[in-house]
Structure 1
Amino acid sequence: MVKVVDSVKTKNKKQRSAPHAPRSQHAPQTQEAPRPQEAPLQQDHQYEQPCDQPPLQSPHRHQESRSASLATPHIEQKLVATVEIQNMFVNEIGLITRANAPLNVNGWKKVTLEQKMDMAKALKFKFDVDLEDPDIWEFIDGHMSKSYKEWKAKLHKHFKEYAHDLQLARATPPTNKVFVTHRKIEEWHWLVDNLYTDEKYQKRCKANVNNRKKKEYEHTGGSRPFLKHKEAAEKEGQHVTLIDNWNNMHMHRDKGVWINEVAENKGKKMKAAMAMYIQQESASSSNPSEQISVSDVHQLGIMTKELGIGSGKRIRGLGSNLRVETSSRSTSRYSKTSMIEDERYNKLSETVEKLCDIVKQLQAGINDRSRKKRKRNSKYNGKGPRLRPDSSDSDSDDSTTNHHGDNLQGGGDGLYTGLEDIGHGH
């Protein structure tokens, strides 16, 4: 189904004037999503000691694997509310990425999740955006990756002008407009010494050049995503199908002609397939063809067959928002949500370890007290008075206190009273 959600809204003008923040110092902190209400503890099973309970499991330790079988094409990601805000949002992602992304890594995949999140937080200076939402995060990460790739391509293009003299190349970084004002010369030196002169990198660049030469056609849509072109046309009162939208993006708008013959053939085939479907539906339902509408899902099926499927189950030529769904969706998504859950798991594990240490200390004190009582009772050898099991021992040597100063006399009651207080404290 189509999921276009008003997920990002601009803030007021005062907030929009906030400067870009370096990722390590001024990036705003996101608020964690409200935690779901915890289920009550089950009382049907009691453990002898709290530390005897089975270890906590991280919420991401057991995940379903993604199936390779294909199902219905669909629009997977949530997008920004309007065309205007979308353009501002994407531009801001590019500015933040170029200003803060590390250069001393070989590709966006080598940038850590923490670094990506620091950059994404800077978006909250100008936009109300939920970074907890996996779909929104995937949208942001995809555009940061694209901006990073395009930016480093410009830097490499500058290097190639001086590639004949490496010393000159090291001493001639790009202009501030390309390299960004606050970037250090050491970052440029790293690119020259470790990346641009690496044989594997050079081979990969040549392969990419050859692959681009094999590209059959371009489009005339600019930087605006596929679905946003459709939305803009509908705002102008035009009823545009997904297939019509693709055709419009592969024509010269001022001339009304196709960009090349390959694009024309594909566009006409998809249009013919949709017309045939309408004709069949009209014949079977006895309704005029003008009353037959073709669902987005069916159109995507036609487009998938004609355009093919790229990496990430992405339908070629439709951007990152239109993908082929798998029959078994993975429950794990590499997003901020997973990072937050792992942090909660680690903090909870640390708390449990501390509680176990406290329990061991308390239990050791009780055991020591019991040994002293048995030792005293054994002196009488069955003769004379004996300490009663429920008696209160007032000797300072026999009293056990924890680090809070609480007296733990009275056997096990003191132990579990102390634990109950600990539980309330947390």
Structure 2
Amino acid sequence: MIPLSHLITRRRSVTNAPPTLSASTAPGVIGEPTPLTEATPTASQVPVSSTSSVSVQPLNARRPHRRRRELEPGDHASSSSGVDGGASQPAKKNTRGPNRMLKEAHAVRMSASLIKIAYDSQHRGAATSQQHSSVVTSCGYVIRNCCPMRWESWAQIPEETKKLVRDKLSVNFDVNDLSPEVSAYLEGTLANRYKDWKSAFHTHFQLWDDPEIARLEGCPNELTERPEDWEWLCKHFMDPKFVKKSIAGKKARDSKTLLHHSGSKPFSYRLEARRQEGSKFPQIDLFNDVYVRPGNETAKEIHDVMVEKSTAVLQEATSQLPPETPIEDVNVPDDADIQIVTEVLDQKLGRRYGKVVRCMGKAGVCETGASSSRSSTGEVNALKEEVTTLKGQLAAQGEHIRAQDERMSMIVQALAMSGLQIPMPTRDVAPPSTSQPLHPADTQ
């Protein structure tokens, strides 16, 4: 019996070194880019992640009306460090600091050209995970520093303001003559970063028991120079419609059975990496990496069922080959892992309706009945427009024919008044076969 670890996948070691942006993917304008304005000293030093669960640095522990968080045992040990003479000083923060697009600016200086965004339809975004991370962090930077927080969502922001925000990306990225796919990718990324940044302020707003105290004394460091933004946000957070929507969203998140632990990196990039490692069932391996965690018995049970089914599929494929066949040469259906994952999840959690396939993210978007109906409606509308155009052409031709008939009738009437009588030609009768022209003397 072949060991299970060798049957399902053959892994290779993967380096954990931070990815670097390749300069070969950055053709564009020649010249030094104008650097963005550095962050003000009052800006928060806490990084903002690309997920919606972002926390904002508390303002000041000495402020009144503030909830006090119970310190963990490790907090006392890490709050200060001993020095000579028995004095103590604050421990160094273990944070990476705010993003300032320094890596992107360095890549532009080294290549003397702007970064060209390479789009890949498989990921529905940047071609590589490194460039996707660069685009996401850059969009987050311009949203935090250049976009006012006075609208409920990115879609409601006026186009003039959106254009100013997009122009900040042109410092490092080539945003001229973008394809519709790249434009949609950037718009979606900016919309997500705006939502996440507003969610971070909502988390900061909830640190106070009294919303009015939060409005008066809770302005975060990032908005000290933009107090009107904080005023609008506080009013928005106290709106009954927003409160109702926030409570419903929290209940929906708490009711989720499976929670992934993969961060903001899309599943499609992780799935591609596992295929490159030689995995026979990359979808099942991905489920194990992002969902299975100690204490989550539901995810572990689901994964065990997937492994059992995938082992049966692989053993059936190897039974038809010679015993000495290497595992690398065993071929399984390309969609076997997707079928197994979908079947097991539908049995355990119920069938899911929609256009997104479970555990596939953007890479698993499929057409649904609604989208197919919209496609059919579009085809019908196109045919209607074509029919309307043809009708217009036929009407124009009819007008032209009627104008010719009226002209011919006027000529015949003029000849008749001069004493000539020419029979009115009909369209059903063929023209006379004589080649000699009709002379007026012959009619007399």
Which residues of 2 match residues 187-206 of structure 1 at below 5 A?
A: 187-193=229-235, 195-206=236-247
2:35 corresponds, among 18, 22, 47, to: 18
What's the % identity of the aligned pairs? 25
- 2:288 equivalent to 1:247: yes
Distance 1:205 1:80, change over 3 A: same
Match of 1:267 in 2: 303
d(CA) in 1 for partners of 2:361, 2:312? 26
- 2:221 equivalent to 1:221: no
Match of 2:13 in 1: none
The alpha carbon displacement at 1:114 in A equals: 6.0
1:104 and 1:191 in contact (8 A); partners too: yes
Read off the aligned partner of 2:362 and give its amino acid letter: S
Read off the aligned partner of 1:103 and give its amino acid letter: M
The alpha carbon displacement at 1:215 in A equals: 1.8
1:175 corresponds, among 220, 226, 237, to: 220
Read off the aligned partner of 2:182 and give its amino acid letter: I
Larger relative contact order (CA 8 Å, sep ≥ 6): 1
Deviations 1:271-316 (A, max 9, x none): 3333344445556788969334345544334334444687962234
TM-score (norm. length: structure 1): 0.50
In structure 1, the residue corresponding to 2:367 is in which secondary structure? strand
2:139 and 2:190 in contact (8 A); partners too: yes
1:15 and 1:125 in contact (8 A); partners too: no
Distance 1:17 1:81, change over 3 A: farther
Match of 2:135 in 1: 89
d(CA) in 2 for partners of 1:272, 1:130? 51
Distance 1:292 1:200, change over 3 A: same
Which residues of 2 match residues 49-68 of structure 1 at below 5 A?
A: none
Which residues of 2 match residues 277-292 of structure 1 at below 5 A?
A: 277-281=313-317, 290=327, 291-292=329-330
Match of 1:154 in 2: 200
Match of 1:324 in 2: 366
Read off the aligned partner of 1:186 and give its amino acid letter: E
- Structure number, greater radius of gyration: 2
In structure 1, the residue corresponding to 2:362 is in which secondary structure? coil
The alpha carbon displacement at 1:136 in A equals: 2.8
Distance 1:323 1:10, change over 3 A: same
CA RMSD in angstroms comes to: 4.2
Distance 1:281 1:227, change over 3 A: same
1:282 and 1:289 in contact (8 A); partners too: no
Deviations 1:405-426 (A, max 9, x none): xxxxxxxxxxxxxxxxxxxxxx
Read off the aligned partner of 1:228 and give its amino acid letter: Y
TM-score (norm. length: structure 2): 0.49
Read off the aligned partner of 2:138 and give its amino acid letter: E
- 2:210 equivalent to 1:207: no
Distance 1:331 1:276, change over 3 A: same
Match of 1:125 in 2: 171
Distance 1:277 1:101, change over 3 A: farther
In structure 2, the residue corresponding to 1:324 is in which secondary structure? coil
1:219 and 1:249 in contact (8 A); partners too: yes
The runs of 5 or more residues in structure 1 that have no matched partner are 1-5, 22-29, 31-74, 253-257, 333-426
Distance 1:176 1:165, change over 3 A: closer
2:267 and 2:362 in contact (8 A); partners too: no
Q: How many residues align?
A: 265
Distance 1:78 1:197, change over 3 A: closer
d(CA) in 1 for partners of 2:175, 2:338? 29
Match of 2:355 in 1: 313
Match of 2:5 in 1: none
Read off the aligned partner of 1:212 and give its amino acid letter: R
d(CA) in 2 for partners of 1:131, 1:303? 40
1:10 and 1:126 in contact (8 A); partners too: no
Match of 1:139 in 2: 185
Match of 2:44 in 1: none
The runs of 5 or more residues in structure 2 that have no matched partner are 1-21, 39-113, 115-120, 377-444
2:149 and 2:229 in contact (8 A); partners too: yes
